[in-house]
Amino acid sequence: MFKSFLTRIAQVLVGGLFIFSGLVKMNDPVGFSFKLEEYFSEEVLNLPIFEPLALPLAIILVAVEVLLGLALLLGLWKRAVLLLLSGMIGFFTFLTFWSAYFNQVTDCGCFGDAIPLTPWESFYKDVVLCVLIIILWWGKKQIFSGVPKITSYALMFFGLGFSIVFTYQVMNHLPSRDFRPYAEGLSIIEGMKPAEELGLEPPKFEVIYTMENDKGERQEISSSAYVNEKWWENKEWTILSELSKTIKVSDGYEPPVHDFSIMNDYGDLTDSILSLDEVWLLVAYNRAKTSENGWQNVLPMVQKLEQNNTPYVILSASMPEEFADCGYRATMPFAFTDETTLKTMVRSNPGWVVLNKGTVIKKYHYNDSPK
Which tens digits make up the pLDDT trace of 34-85? 888 888 887 777 788 888 899 999 999 999 999 999 999 999 999 999 999 9
Q: Which residue has the higher pLDDT, 20 or 217?
A: 20
For residue 110, pLDDT beyond 70: no
How far is Cα 10 from Cα 8, in angstroms, rounded to an integer? 5
Q: What is the pLDDT of residue 229?
A: 81
| pLDDT tops 80 at residue 108 | no
105, pLDDT greater than 70: no
Please check whether residue 53 is in contact with residue 106, taking contact to mean a CB–CB distance below 8 angstroms. Answer: no
pLDDT digits (tens, 9 = 90+) for 244-268: 878 777 788 889 998 899 999 889 9
Q: Are 137 and 57 in contact (CB under 8 A)?
A: no
**Residue-averaged pLDDT of the chain:** 89
Spatial separation of the C-alpha atoms in residues 97 and 99, rounded to whole Å: 6
* Dihedral over Cα of 340, 343, 346, 349: its sign: positive
Strand pairing report for 238-239 and 245-250: unpaired
Confidence band of 14 (pLDDT split at 50, 70, 90) = very high
Please report which confidence band the pLDDT of residue 205 belongs to, taking 50, 70 and 90 as the band edges.
confident
Mean pLDDT is lowest, of 8-22, 133-147, 170-184, 225-239, for: 225-239
Task: Give the mean model confidence (pLDDT) for residues 126-147.
Answer: 89
CA 362 and chain centroid, separation: 21
d(Cα 191, Cα 181) in Å, to the nearest integer? 7
Q: Between 198 and 248, name the one with better pLDDT.
A: 198
Instruction: Quickly state the pLDDT bin for 134 (edges 50, 70, 90).
Output: very high
Is there a contact between 315 and 337 (Cβ–Cβ < 8 Å)?
yes
pLDDT above 90: residue 228: no
The three-point CA angle 150-152-158 to 5° equals: 105
Q: Give the E-state strand segments of the chain in sequence order.
A: 204-212, 218-222, 238-239, 245-250, 263-264, 267-268, 279-283, 312-316, 334-336, 351-356, 359-365
Enumerate helices (H) and strands (E) in the chain, giving the number of each.
12, 11
Higher per-residue confidence, 251 vs 15: 15
Rounded to whole angstroms, the Cα distance separating 63 from 57 reads 10
The separation between the first and the last C-alpha atoms of the chain, rounded to the nearest angstrom, is 64
Domains of the chain, earliest start first = 2-172 (no CATH), 204-250 (no CATH), 258-368 (3.40.30.10)
**Could you read off the pLDDT of 296-354 as tens digits, one per residue?**
999 999 999 999 999 999 999 999 888 888 777 878 899 999 999 999 999 999 999 99
Burial of 283 (0-12, 13-18, 19+ CB in 10 A): buried
Greater model confidence, 309 or 224? 309
Decide: 69 and 26 in contact? Cβ < 8 Å: no
This prediction has a pTM of 0.83
**111: helix, strand or coil:** coil
Sorted by sequence, the CB contacts under 8 Å of residue 308 that are 6+ apart come out as none
Q: Which residues contact 261 (CB under 8 A, 6 or more apart)?
A: 268, 270, 337, 338
What's the pLDDT at 19? 95
Per-residue pLDDT band for 144 (boundaries 50, 70, 90) equals: confident
Give the least confident one: 17-21, 110-114, 148-152, 343-347.
110-114
**H-type helices in 118-239, by residue range?**
119-138, 149-172, 188-192, 195-198, 223-228
Dist CA 311 CA 100 (whole Å): 44
Q: Rounded to 10 degrees, what is the CA torsion of 344, 345, 348, 349? A: -90
CA distances from 52 to 110, 203, 277 (A): 21, 36, 39
> CB neighbours of 370 closer than 8 A, spacing ≥ 6?
301, 304, 364
Does the structure show a pLDDT above 60 at 109? no
- Residue from 286, 57, 30 nearest 169 by CA: 30
Name, in order, each residue with C-beta under 8 angstroms of 233's C-beta and a sequence gap of 6 or more: none
